[in-house]
Structure 1
């Protein structure tokens, strides 16, 4: 198991790094497993301790292991998605492009297809809630004519409609701003990374954050820095420390119904965070894909509070389902022009067909009433879910659901391990443990919208069974 190739030209410490990563990705070393002591590893590899120490230090910096005085060396338990690959030769760059996902996530995706599984993991509305719009028949000539309204930043009628809704719904100031249509919000994030950041630079974000589950940061060589939060959102003092110590280039925030916690950042906290970023000249990326799923009057967007400092991301995918991959970036006109040029150079054009469908849906006479019905149904599901979980509150802390797709549950008792979370697979209950998004191992994300009323008793029974098993394991 612990062997190196003496005939290889590759440095010994790099061979040790590669082998440890391979053992973790193959599942031979599981999260939390303890590695042999440094002295023993040096003996097993037949190298001096300084070589082993160099390799282990690199593995710590890349996020694969943890080292603590008196506790030894362990495989890291959390944030699998933020682990980086060593970047010193072509072979390693290829390795980076094909990173193995978190083993728990692999099992989740396998279980999703099983008919007896309750899928509360998937980050989408269930098919029963996706609005049903009638689309007009389109002749080929109509589509060809529509292409004449296709600019570098997107289909102009769709842009016009989105901008109108952003102004009406969120009071966004569009002076000096432009909008770029993208193929979903993920393409928008990727475009920003590739255009405005360089490998080795850092983005700060909330801890936890769904960004830690995305592989695109690894492939771009961008470091994610998690910043602590409380119930109001990201902590301004912790953010300022990170900006100073980690040389942060951007702050990425999901202030409205954050993924994964479902938390709504308070207005006071929004203003405080903007103040810190203005002090240090840090641009903000505001991801607002759940902004249209608010049960009450929406709080002012970061974009409203600091228009020229914020790039605003939105998406229709959470409303219309994943088939219509339409998102957008709203930012200063000169910035959007640069991003549009970069998008064209990357040959990442957004197809005209989903733009036509999205434009038709948004301009439909029944759009407003359909959207109101969707919000009413989501609020009702949130209330039923919260009521059904009342008996579990003595063991789980449940965040109030004010909108969006997710709620966040935290275990109140003994520390949990990754193995404890496998109980959810045993009961065919698919959730997203916190370690997919952070170093926390005590909480989980649940997409409450995917529970039909008739499924609630079954869910409660499975959840109660898991809870009792966790309590007995104390």
Structure 2
């Protein structure tokens, strides 16, 4: 029976075609030098459009398996065997313990590096908002003396001391320096947790939708992910009981403050309830607080982190400077019981010999200085202006197509299309129109949801980006 792509397989059609062609090449069904059918012929054979076949051919050309020449067609590379024998890199790159990025997320990542595309997906501060980390106090300009050796496995001691003060003064979290692990961004903290504290096959709970859902690191660790239901006030804590009874979950992951992607804030009462339930069930609670410092100017401050009311050590608190200061520093931290910090620090030492000592010294200078408050106020005003720009543009251009929220903090607006669209098709159409955003399915949401990010682009580009999304939606409405 002739092979056909399976449209219900959950794998992009072009990747199925590429994999089948490579299988035939490796097995010798298509020997070196064999001419392949023109794209339109193969498209008819497989019942797909020509662009799908073109993408499959391009995938194999990039791996050196196929060669093409304008006017001469496409053929199997003559250099696959013999003297220039090559490994089957397709099998290698699609194997291994750490899974590749999900296809939709990879498509977004690629588009984000195209400077001609308006970027409403990139969750970073604009370059103009990143402060100088060089001391500017008179007399200090020429006194920077950086230590360039390996840092302590837990992190540079003076940085951990500064973080202990910072967390207490700004978040009400009481932690000694020995209960803090400095990581290369918050994502490394999550990675260490999955590798060191959980085992393949373990079940974990997280909000649905959730940024954590978008990270292949959980699936790479062999974990089973179960969804904690949410409403407009965040997680519904009682659902933890159901998941524990039905799936024996081992850990709960939560993003209670300016949840990514929805922007919701878990109420103080629900924070207490969630902590009480986790303590009752003896479940560790991982609190991801990447956006906690990003309250917009004029908005009320959110409740204190769950870690601030944790008296038993049930909460592992994860934070970062990436959203408030500079993502390029790659400075994050985990706060937890000393035994957990020691275990994760040992694993981190084996991985990378510690976070960059240079980044840690710059981070300490910033956290220790009063400029933290100045930067936070500056960012809060900036994000308010950016959000107002996007909301105005959405009222002007998307009012007939979508509904959305206006969070009191973070970088994003969570938007629901009134008429859901195929997300892959919608994203492709938008990229062709010159704008990129994040479809909700990347975070495990139902069809029809979009995350629109206002932190990166200038106001004029935000306005134009929303206008381009309108054009895409108008085209399909016709």
- So what's the TM-score if we normalise by structure 1? 0.76
Counterparts in 2 of 1:413 and 1:364: CA distance versus 1, 3 Å: same
1:395 aligns with 2:401: yes
| Residue 293 of structure 2: aligned partner | 292
Q: Is the 8 A contact 1:176 1:333 kept in 2?
A: no
Counterparts in 2 of 1:154 and 1:120: CA distance versus 1, 3 Å: same
Q: Is the 8 A contact 1:398 1:410 kept in 2?
A: yes
1:280 aligns with 2:281: yes
| Residue 109 of structure 2: aligned partner | 109
Q: Distance in 2 between matches of 1:103 and 1:424?
A: 16
Q: Distance in 2 between matches of 1:456 and 1:288?
A: 26
Alignment equivalent of 1:453, drawn from 442, 456, 459: 459
| Residue 377 of structure 2: aligned partner | 372
Where structure 1 has 5 or more consecutive residues not aligned to the other structure, the ranges are 4-15, 30-90
- RMSD of aligned Cα (Å): 3.1
Alignment equivalent of 1:344, drawn from 349, 357, 372: 349
Q: Is the 8 A contact 1:181 1:327 kept in 2?
A: yes
Q: How does 1:65-76 map to 2 (within 5 A)?
A: none
| Residue 436 of structure 2: aligned partner | 430
Counterparts in 2 of 1:368 and 1:23: CA distance versus 1, 3 Å: closer
Offset at 1:273? 1.8
Offset at 1:27? 4.6
Offset at 1:367? 3.5
Q: Is the 8 A contact 1:177 1:330 kept in 2?
A: no
Where structure 2 has 5 or more consecutive residues not aligned to the other structure, the ranges are 19-90
Counterparts in 2 of 1:110 and 1:332: CA distance versus 1, 3 Å: closer
Moved more, 189-198 or 101-110: 101-110
Q: How does 1:118-137 map to 2 (within 5 A)?
A: 118-135=118-135
| Residue 178 of structure 1: aligned partner | 179
Alignment equivalent of 2:365, drawn from 356, 360, 364: 360
Q: How does 1:76-91 map to 2 (within 5 A)?
A: none
Query: SS state of the match for residue 358, structure 1?
Result: helix
Counterparts in 2 of 1:103 and 1:248: CA distance versus 1, 3 Å: same
Q: Is the 8 A contact 1:232 1:264 kept in 2?
A: yes
Q: Distance in 2 between matches of 1:217 and 1:419?
A: 27
Q: Is the 8 A contact 2:290 2:323 kept in 1?
A: yes
Q: Distance in 1 between matches of 2:351 and 2:99?
A: 23
Q: Distance in 2 between matches of 1:131 and 1:363?
A: 14
| Residue 59 of structure 1: aligned partner | none
| Residue 65 of structure 1: aligned partner | none
Query: SS state of the match for residue 368, structure 1?
Result: helix
Counterparts in 2 of 1:220 and 1:316: CA distance versus 1, 3 Å: same
1:316 aligns with 2:305: no
| Residue 302 of structure 1: aligned partner | 306
Q: Is the 8 A contact 1:257 1:406 kept in 2?
A: no
Query: SS state of the match for residue 291, structure 2?
Result: coil
Offset at 1:365? 4.5
Q: Distance in 2 between matches of 1:284 and 1:210?
A: 16
Aligned length: 396
| Residue 26 of structure 1: aligned partner | 15
